[in-house]
Amino acid sequence: MPPVYRLVCQGKCPNPGCGTPIVLPRQSPVGMFPGLLSHPTDKPTAATFLCTVCGQLFECSPEAFPPHRIEIRSPDQQLPLLWRLEFECVIENCGKQKPIFFAFDPIVGERAVWRQVVKLLGEVTCGKGHTQKLLPKMASVVPVARQS
C-alpha cells in the first residue's frame, strides 16, 4: 500500500533535551492562533505552548508551526487535537487570564488530559506574573481544533 500523507502545522519543543515534534491541526478557530489557516482580526504576535512530553512552556509565533507533510499509518489515523488550558488568576482583583495551548492524543478524555497537564505544570503564572497552584476550581482544559 502506498504511503498516506497529511498536511499539518508542525513545530518542535525548544528544550534541547527534548526536541519532540509538536503536530497541530491546520484548522484553527478564528481569533485563537493566527497562521493555522485562520486569519483573526486581533492578530496576537505569540502564544504560550506546552510540550506534553517534557513540560517545557514556551512562547512562539505562528512561524514556529509551518505547514509540514507527515506520513500516517492509515487514512483513519487520528492526529493530535489542539487543546487550550484556560485559567483565571485567583489573586484578589486580578482575574487576568493567560491561555496555554498544547497538542494531545485525540482518544484521551478531558480528565486524562487535565491530570497530565497538572502533572507537568503544577503551577501557572497569569499575564500579570502571579504564580498559583493549578486547581480545577480555577482552570479547565478545552479541545480547540482537530485535524480534518
pTM for the whole structure: 0.78
Query: pLDDT digit of tens for each residue in the chain (148 aa)?
Result: 677 788 888 889 999 999 998 887 765 543 445 444 444 445 556 788 999 999 999 988 777 888 888 888 777 777 788 888 988 888 888 877 778 888 888 778 888 999 899 999 988 888 888 888 888 888 888 888 655 5
Cα gap 28→127, rounded to integer Å: 23
Cell readout for 123 is: 503551577
Q: Nearest to residue 128, comparing CAs of 99, 86, 97? A: 97
Q: Which residues contact 113 (CB under 8 A, 6 or more apart)?
A: 83, 104, 141
Largest CA distance in the chain: 60
